[in-house]
Structure 1
């Protein structure tokens, strides 16, 4: 099967600080992949290197067979990649409705499987708060809006950084249910989160980083077989 995303031997530095040491993995169309590790191990830097928000010193990123390593972030995103950042990235002067309408577009095939109405049906709370500013929402509602804003771009790859961090248990469950729906719709996902129990059930492949290096890369069955080892990497 053709790879949707290929990440090859990324070395990324912040000044003199060498953060990523040869990180590499791939994703097939429709796959959900977890990216796990303790704080400061390079998860967000890996995502930013894929998106061009930071430029790797060396290594390559391919999307749908095309090398995108040197492209600016906006060009990468137009190739049907969407990003839900840690912190959610609300625009201070836009309402819920404006966040969704501003981002909406069909994918490069002209398909629009996730339109404005489908996002509101998926997140009924947003329907009730259309005229509220994004910054006036609760943390859980902001995460719903950030995911909805990403979905209306109709991506082939959705990247979620700290998908449920800091959310109340009921909201976390709601977000996980939506991510399952997203996967069922055929969108590939990279999910950064700490909930190994849910990730084990939801994702097809699991990547664990320790000090900017991939120390584990395997399927869910492989994760079960080496669960004690993986939990030791995560400090569980």
Structure 2
């Protein structure tokens, strides 16, 4: 049996009195890629924030590489080699492209360093052309490339991408999907939030679909194909 890198067990997360996640459980194995799908407001971003400790669950457990990290602050969880590309990208208005990449760069906790500054620029040639530009001067697609590149230079074991291709032009989306595939091939586990079932089926090993903070579907791409009508209905309700 494969070894779990990330496992959440029976987490319940609330905003005030609003109960968002209900006994949510799933696991992501080492080297695996997983999609997290659902309509707006179904709990996808809350799930990511619960994993990272930005919005700590009221109950349940979050395990990373076998360690219960549920009581750790966000920065300590991230130092376990987790990288986060947030919805909205989180670009700093006062840093250039070069400064974004240089300030984030570090080897992984076990000394891994295959994703360095030069490799990111080789992966994203557009960033090479924009090194002296402020991050906020970039197009939406270029900002997403920068956000992914900034995450990669931390040499994570897990990359979390929220709304990976939201609002991007079709050609830029294809570029982003290709990069995510390359990230997976380099051995980094990925957890991807997006709405493109067709792309996610090709890219990811497993798929989780949420409805009102509960797991509606959890299975492989083959199982997703067998349940495609059910899943598509859940995503369009």
Structure 1 counterpart of 2:221:
220
Task: Tell me if 1:190 matches 2:202.
Answer: no
Alignment partners' CA distance in 1, 2:181 and 2:43: 25
Displacement of 1:220? 0.3
Structure 2 counterpart of 1:131:
132
Structure 1 runs of 4+ with >4 Å offset:
none
Query: After superposition, where does 1:73-84 map in structure 2 within 5 Å?
Result: 73-84=74-85
Structure 2 counterpart of 1:70:
71
Structure 2 counterpart of 1:230:
231
Displacement of 1:180? 0.6
CA displacement, residues 115-164 of structure 1 (integer Å, 9 cap, x when unaligned): 00000000000000000010110000000000000000000000000000
| SS, match of residue 210 in structure 2 | strand
Alignment partners' CA distance in 1, 2:101 and 2:8: 30
Alignment partners' CA distance in 1, 2:184 and 2:3: 18
In the comparison of the two structures, how many residue pairs are matched?
Answer: 236
Task: Tell me if 1:178 matches 2:179.
Answer: yes
Query: After superposition, where does 1:140-219 map in structure 2 within 5 Å?
Result: 140-219=141-220
CA displacement, residues 21-73 of structure 1 (integer Å, 9 cap, x when unaligned): 01110011110000000000000000000000001110100001001001000
Displacement of 1:175? 0.3
| SS, match of residue 107 in structure 1 | coil
| SS, match of residue 7 in structure 2 | strand
| SS, match of residue 88 in structure 2 | coil
Alignment partners' CA distance in 1, 2:120 and 2:109: 19
Alignment partners' CA distance in 1, 2:199 and 2:112: 30
TM-score for the superposition, normalised by structure 2:
0.99
Structure 1 counterpart of 2:21:
20
What is the alpha-carbon root mean square deviation over aligned residues?
Answer: 0.7
Displacement of 1:2? 1.7
| SS, match of residue 4 in structure 1 | strand
Alignment partners' CA distance in 1, 2:3 and 2:193: 24
Q: Which runs of 5+ in 2 are unaligned?
A: none
Displacement of 1:92? 1.1
| SS, match of residue 47 in structure 1 | helix
| SS, match of residue 229 in structure 1 | helix
Alignment partners' CA distance in 1, 2:73 and 2:165: 28
Alignment partners' CA distance in 1, 2:109 and 2:91: 25
Q: Which runs of 5+ in 1 are unaligned?
A: none
Structure 2 counterpart of 1:46:
47
Displacement of 1:14? 0.2
Task: Tell me if 1:57 matches 2:58.
Answer: yes
Alignment partners' CA distance in 2, 1:134 and 1:22: 39
TM-score for the superposition, normalised by structure 1:
0.99
